[in-house]
Structure 1
Amino acid sequence: MRRSNESMAGVFRLANEAWEALFRAQATLAREFEQAGAWGGFAPTEYGVLYALAGHDEGLRITELLDDVLLTQAGVSRLVARLEQRGLVERRSDPRDGRASRIVLTDEGRAVQGRLGRAHARHVATAMTRTLSASQLRALRDLSQALVEEPPAS
């Protein structure tokens, strides 16, 4: 029994060390991208909304955007309003629910997202390949995807 508790304590510590390393790596890279001007004058969360919408021609509801942007519903609503004022997104009625609207990219929004996305992808590739091999990148991708997958039902 004692050996099992020591093992659990070691796994507990290791899990927290892994989280801290992952968190610091993400924060360090995000700061690097921002300092390099990778967002072209947009906040990372603004680009996040443009990116999320780029994959949905029919648009997304604000509640669906919450899955992609780490903000409150009120924060996402304000952010969408700013992007709407800039002519990058527009609201359309939801054909499945007349009370709701869907947020879609305008042609200008799609162009901005594409331009920023290409620049950001170059920055990401440079930063990630600076110290990681292709096999390490695959392992990091797979491990990160596993962290956000739904756990199997017990």
Structure 2
Amino acid sequence: MTRANEAWESLMKAYAVLMKQFNAEDVWGELTMREYDVLYQLSKCGSPLRMSELNRHVLLSQPALSRMVDRLVDRGLVERCPDLGDRRGVRLSLTPAGRDTQREIGRPHARSVTRALSVLSAEELDQLAVITGKLAGNEER
């Protein structure tokens, strides 16, 4: 096995272990972890996003994301607004209830992430951020 394959396998194993751990925590309320991720991604943006922009930030297919957004709209957590730059398009943003829900879940989830990554030193956390940033940058090419 090449070094790249070993590193990839290690990355995927760490991801799987952490995601199982986070998913098992009692912080999600009425949401799934994936639904929370959509709320989180929308909360990070200063302006409403097109569906295609949101899709670049979540691990869902376009059809699955569309169905999930429909459910989040029906639950009053996400709203659609017209795209002023393209009358055919819509933009997505959090409703006040969606923002409150994201914050309520986000605080304990952030503490869980901090606990899970506490096995790393500050230097290792910096290295991890650089390495994963480089890998994420590859998808832009």
Relative to the length of structure 1, the TM-score reads 0.85
Query: Percent of aligned positions with the same letter in both sequences?
Result: 43
Structure 2 residues without counterparts, runs of 5 or longer:
none
CA distance in 2, matches of 1:137, 1:40: 29
CA distance in 2, matches of 1:56, 1:76: 17
* RMSD across aligned positions (CA): 1.6
Match for residue 33 of structure 2 among 19, 25, 44: 44
| One-letter amino acid of the structure 2 residue matched with residue 147 of structure 1 | L
Match in the other structure for 1:146: 134
4+ residue stretches of structure 1 with deviation over 3 A?
Answer: none
Match in the other structure for 1:31: 20
Match for residue 111 of structure 2 among 122, 126, 132: 122
The reply on whether 1:74 has 2:69 as its aligned counterpart is no
CA distance in 2, matches of 1:142, 1:50: 25
Alpha-carbon distance, 1:144 to partner: 0.8
Alpha-carbon distance, 1:114 to partner: 1.1
Alpha-carbon distance, 1:77 to partner: 0.6
Q: For the structure 1 residues 57 and 139, does the alpha-carbon distance in structure 2 shift closer, same or farther, using more than 3 Å as the test?
A: closer
Structure 1 residues without counterparts, runs of 5 or longer:
1-11
Secondary structure class of the residue paired with 2:49: coil
Higher radius of gyration, 1 or 2: 1
Secondary structure class of the residue paired with 1:122: helix
- Per mean C-alpha deviation after superposition, the further-off stretch among 37-46 and 77-86 is 37-46
1:57-72 to 2 correspondences below 5 Å: 57-72=46-61
Alpha-carbon distance, 1:37 to partner: 2.1
After superposition, the C-alpha distances for 1:23-80 in whole angstroms (9 at most, x for unaligned) are 1101100100111123334212111110111122431111111101111111111000
Secondary structure class of the residue paired with 1:92: strand
After superposition, the C-alpha distances for 1:109-146 in whole angstroms (9 at most, x for unaligned) are 000111111111100000100x2111111111111111
Secondary structure class of the residue paired with 1:15: helix
Secondary structure class of the residue paired with 1:87: coil
Alpha-carbon distance, 1:150 to partner: 4.2
CA distance in 2, matches of 1:49, 1:69: 7
